[in-house]
């Protein structure tokens, strides 16, 4: 794992410029650093290295290919690089003298023999890569299939720049790019900035599975259209068209491919472990890791003092059953809240998934003992794990029987009942029925708000993925904009798929890439920890989509094939419980110990001077939240994280 950066264009001091850019992301690679500058001084690559595979100097970057035609800087891991080496070695009339064992060298040799696009197609792993072709004088930027590794690119001061994080790009001389209001609207819509947007004008995220080329042969350099070397949508449609017929056969296939994926991702020359929540996904990953290891796997989880949010005991029980070397990081509310001050700098863009806080805490602790950690991310998107997949159809079947006008009135009535009163009603009901519904008031408000605007199952499916329904009304000057079209285009349903499969596909393209993977990458890399995601192996993705939906979701329960495999290693009594995610009581803290912090960030005078927001809906929502009348946690957290980001990155605004 590393950090990469670079630029094309003449600057006064290219060495100082590239050094400043790469040093801004030194947390991504503290072990060594390097740069390469073209002979004409118009192009520079910078690299910060976290040594994981081949920790010797032979893995140093930037790296030239054996032919000297290509220069590469690269961030990530190619899990099949040994197979690629074997393939290259077996090619007739092609004798290779390998200089080391790094996957970077494997990439450069593949480039010499296969060229760029075919090399990208052959690589199975996570990566962001920049390739300079000395012969054609074309710069190519590419990103892995799903978007595990970040890559920004664009224009600063009329020069082309790129980097793993915006921190590097902002070090380029003359950086003055304006905050993009279109990106801000989309951020409020989702609580993250979706690709290809970035929070700044003229800077973009490279979309997963794609590459882009910069031709420097003309007096004005030419940037190509985005090119795809792999498409998730096409992969899904291909595999859906040839479904498994036998469920047991499909599950056995999945187990074999998971073992293969995990085995390849356990390759490391430095200490390796795994995150373990005690849920289905992480427990399955750890089970198969332990099966393939002679020594106890190091596992890590977070424990909270607030027992209503603490799930660490589940992880402890699983670790004892599997025999892992387990660490529980017990944190207080104060420990957790202390992380909030770091978030504005940790995330280059406004980012408002509150599970970013425990993710950072567990990554920070894990880094004390390991350099690489495997996670169970992507199991939900591939195998139907989110509640919205299992409950949306049932909910719609119930509410669609009621005319929209009546549903709308009932929803508005429910919204008029304060959250704390709804919770009291639930508390009384649970004493009678013995069936407590966690966060009942918040759930009623969230569903009721949606019922005021949706009128079909597909609308419900889309609405369950968003935060603010009409975010353009919040941003000054954007009230009538078509800014929402970007994200809505990502959530266009395919007529060949059912609504739930469409949700899973859309989430994989957007929420997984731009929220989940971004959250983990920034949190882990801020402490120089590499994370790996076995579920995102291309063979696992294909296998998952060959499974009909009823193989994955049965009796309102998702991830059926994962449960079946896991039951071979861990009793289901240790695993089965309501899904909660990586939850912390942010909403309660905003009313309590964080209220002064909120008041400062939402100060009316400050908001007015900054000039980004229409104040009345935000201040109304804040007042309703802090009095307990309503629970607006996700929406407010999005506003607060933008304000915190603005304070850290643009204190003079």
Residues with catalytic annotation?
2
DSSP one-letter code for 518: H
Sign of CA dihedral 38, 40, 41, 44: negative
DSSP one-letter code for 206: P
As a whole number of Å, the end-to-end CA separation of the chain is 34
Nearest residue to 381 via CA among 246, 509, 222: 509
Sign of CA dihedral 140, 143, 144, 150: positive
Distance CA 602, CA 271 (A): 44
- Residues 636, 625 contacting (CB under 8 angstroms): yes
- Residues 64, 41 contacting (CB under 8 angstroms): no
Residue 414 falls in which region: left (phi positive, over 0), alpha (psi -120 to 50) or beta: alpha
Residue 576 falls in which region: left (phi positive, over 0), alpha (psi -120 to 50) or beta: beta
Distance CA 590, CA 498 (A): 39
Nearest residue to 290 via CA among 336, 255, 315, 322: 322
Distance CA 141, CA 72 (A): 10
Distance CA 296, CA 273 (A): 9
Beta strands in 541-598 (DSSP E): none
- Residues 444, 653 contacting (CB under 8 angstroms): no
- Length of the chain (residues): 653
> Helix, strand or coil for residue 259?
helix
Going from the C-alpha of 511 to that of each of 113, 234, 493, 579, the distances in angstroms are: 36, 19, 15, 18
Going from the C-alpha of 156 to that of each of 8, 161, 180, 549, the distances in angstroms are: 10, 7, 14, 46
Distance CA 371, CA 52 (A): 8
Q: What is the DSSP string of 80-100?
A: THHHHHHHHHHSTT-------
Distance CA 375, CA 286 (A): 9
DSSP one-letter code for 59: G
Q: Which two tokens stand for residue 21?
A: 């850019």
Distance CA 225, CA 263 (A): 37
> Helix, strand or coil for residue 630?
coil
Distance CA 144, CA 142 (A): 7
DSSP one-letter code for 467: S
Distance CA 22, CA 46 (A): 6
């Amino acid at each position: 794992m590393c950090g990469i950066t670079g630029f094309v264009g003449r600057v006064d001091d290219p060495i100082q410029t590239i050094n400043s850019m790469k040093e801004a992301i030194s947390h991504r690679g503290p072990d060594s650093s390097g740069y390469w500058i073209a002979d004409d001084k118009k192009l520079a690559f910078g690299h910060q290295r976290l040594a994981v595979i081949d920790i010797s100097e032979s893995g140093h970057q930037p790296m030239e290919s054996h032919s000297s035609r290509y220069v590469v800087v690269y961030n990530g891991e190619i899990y099949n690089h040994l197979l690629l080496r074997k393939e290259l070695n077996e090619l007739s009339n092609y004798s290779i003298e390998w200089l080391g064992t790094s996957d970077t060298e494997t990439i450069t040799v593949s480039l010499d023999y296969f060229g760029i696009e075919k090399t990208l197609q052959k690589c199975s792993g996570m990566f962001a890569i920049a390739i300079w072709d000395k012969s054609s004088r074309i710069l190519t930027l590419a990103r892995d299939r799903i978007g595990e590794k970040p890559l920004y690119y664009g224009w600063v001061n009329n020069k082309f720049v790129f980097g793993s994080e915006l921190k590097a790009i902002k070090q380029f001389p003359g950086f003055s790019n304006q905050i993009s209001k279109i990106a801000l609207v989309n951020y409020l819509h989702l609580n993250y900035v979706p690709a290809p947007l970035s929070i700044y004008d003229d800077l973009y995220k490279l979309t997963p599975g794609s590459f882009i080329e910069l031709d420097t042969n003309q007096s004005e350099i030419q940037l190509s259209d985005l090119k795809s070397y792999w498409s998730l949508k096409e992969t899904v449609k291909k595999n859906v068209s040839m479904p498994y017929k036998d469920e047991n056969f499909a599950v056995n296939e999945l187990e074999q491919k998971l073992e293969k994926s995990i085995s390849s991702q356990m390759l490391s020359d430095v200490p390796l472990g795994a995150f373990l929540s005690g849920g289905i996904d992480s427990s399955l990953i750890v089970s198969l890791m332990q099966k393939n290891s002679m020594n106890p796997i190091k596992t890590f989880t977070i424990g909270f003092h607030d027992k209503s949010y603490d799930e660490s005991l589940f992880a402890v029980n699983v670790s004892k059953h599997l025999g892992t070397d387990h660490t529980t990081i017990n944190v207080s509310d104060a420990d957790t809240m202390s992380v909030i001050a770091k978030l504005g700098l940790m995330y280059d863009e406004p980012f408002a998934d509150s599970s970013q806080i425990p993710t950072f805490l567990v990554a920070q602790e894990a880094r004390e003992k390991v350099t690489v950690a495997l996670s169970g991310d992507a199991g939900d998107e591939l195998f139907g794990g989110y509640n919205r997949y299992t409950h949306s159809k049932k909910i719609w079947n119930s509410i669609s029987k009621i005319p929209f006008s009546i549903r709308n009135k009932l929803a508005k009535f429910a919204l008029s009942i304060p959250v704390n009163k709804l919770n009291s009603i639930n508390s009384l009901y649970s004493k009678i029925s013995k069936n407590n519904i966690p966060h009942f008031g918040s759930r009623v408000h969230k569903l009721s708000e949606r019922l005021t605007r949706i009128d079909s199952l597909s609308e419900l499916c889309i609405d369950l993925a968003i935060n603010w329904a009409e975010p353009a009304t919040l941003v000054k000057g954007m009230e009538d904009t078509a800014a929402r079209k970007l994200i809505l285009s990502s959530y266009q349903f395919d007529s060949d798929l059912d609504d739930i499969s469409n949700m899973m596909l859309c989430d994989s393209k957007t929420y997984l890439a731009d929220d989940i993977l971004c959250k983990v990458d920034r949190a882990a890399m801020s402490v120089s920890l590499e994370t790996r995601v076995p579920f995102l192996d291309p063979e696992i993705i294909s296998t998952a989509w060959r499974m009909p939906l009823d193989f994955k979701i049965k009796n309102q329960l998702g991830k059926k094939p994962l449960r079946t495999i896991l039951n071979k290693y861990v009793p289901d009594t240790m695993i089965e419980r309501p899904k909660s995610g990586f939850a912390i009581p942010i909403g309660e803290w905003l009313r309590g110990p964080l209220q002064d912090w909120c008041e400062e960030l939402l100060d009316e005078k400050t908001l007015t001077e900054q000039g980004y927001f229409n104040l009345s809906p935000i201040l109304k929502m804040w007042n309703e939240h802090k009095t307990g009348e309503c629970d607006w946690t996700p929406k407010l957290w999005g506003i607060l994280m933008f304000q915190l980001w603005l304070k850290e990155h643009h204190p003079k605004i």
